[in-house]
Amino acid sequence: METKACLFDLDGVIVDTAKYHYQAWRSLARRLGFDFSPAHNERLKGVSRMASLDILLEVGGISGVSDADKQRMADEKNAEYVSLISRMTPDEVLPGAEDFLRSLRAAGIRTALGSASKNAMTILDRLQLTPLFDAIVDGTKVAKAKPDPEVFLRGAEALGVAPAECVVFEDAEAGIEAAIAGGMRCVGIGSPDILGRANLVVPGLSAMTLDRLRAL
């Protein structure tokens, strides 16, 4: 099947924001009186903000929190996260990401972002990558979180490309599930142990070439 569009997750594919999410979640955990480890943080990758908070509270053994208090906690975490990402620079783009995006566009393949994050526009602007995407679908535009395929289907629709002609790049298992549910081929960024359902798994976008894309 010919590939007419590539859809990219943001966090963990284009940029390593997990460290900033971790810093902000750990601050919240400390204020709540417990420690949140890097291993716990792994569980938050690809998960929406409010679902991440639920996992954090479960780790801390905290139950019975009202919706209003949950919203306040999520807002506090996000304020710290936004202050961290607003200092990001273009040298934080993960190796190979910008070159691969440019080679796709030079080959006439359209590009879109498909991210759960409500902060995606801030991050792309800080990294100076916004002009490399023909469409941007982020957490402010979708109702259903991955593994629901909504974010990628919206991206394909915005580009006017059929799902079967799209390839998704994802570092989270839920994102691979979302691509498959949407009828798209997908490339896992990370470990085959976790992303085994993808059509191809590579350690990072620096390992991607147009030839590897055509072979999918």
Q: List active site positions.
A: 9, 11
Judged by beta carbon, residue 12 or residue 163, the one nearer ligand BG6 is: 12
Alpha helices of the chain — where are they, by DSSP H? Answer: 18-31, 38-42, 49-59, 67-85, 97-106, 120-127, 150-159, 173-181, 192-195, 210-214
Joined together, the tokens standing for residue 183 give 């009828």
Helices 67-85 & 18-31 angle (0-180, nearest 10): 140
Stretch that binds Mg ion, among 16-24, 40-48, 62-70, 187-195 (CB under 5 A): 40-48
Give the interface size with Mg ion as a residue count (CB under 5 A). Answer: 6
Beta carbon of residue 6, minimum distance to ligand BG6 (angstroms, whole number): 17
Residue 192 vs residues 63, 178, 179: alpha-carbon distances, Å: 35, 17, 16
Judged by beta carbon, residue 11 or residue 173, the one nearer Mg ion is: 11
Residues that bind ligand BG6 (CB under 6 A): 10-11, 21, 44-49, 52, 78, 115-119, 139
Beta carbon of residue 2, minimum distance to ligand BG6 (angstroms, whole number): 28
Q: Cα–Cα distance between 125 and 48 in angstroms, integer?
A: 21
Judged by beta carbon, residue 36 or residue 169, the one nearer Mg ion is: 169
Residue with tokens 């590897």: 212
Beta carbon of residue 192, minimum distance to Mg ion (angstroms, whole number): 17
Beta carbon of residue 211, minimum distance to ligand BG6 (angstroms, whole number): 29
Q: Cα–Cα distance between 190 and 205 in angstroms, integer?
A: 10
Q: Cα–Cα distance between 127 and 133 in angstroms, integer?
A: 13
Q: Cα–Cα distance between 100 and 106 in angstroms, integer?
A: 10
Joined together, the tokens standing for residue 170 give 């994802």
- Regarding 138 and contact with Mg ion (CB under 5 A), the answer is no
Stretch that binds Mg ion, among 3-11, 61-69, 106-114, 131-139 (CB under 5 A): 3-11
Judged by beta carbon, residue 11 or residue 201, the one nearer ligand BG6 is: 11
Of residues 170-209, those binding Mg ion (CB under 5 A) = 171-172
- Residue 52's identity, in one-letter code, is S
Interaction site with Mg ion (CB under 5 A)? 9, 11-12, 46, 171-172
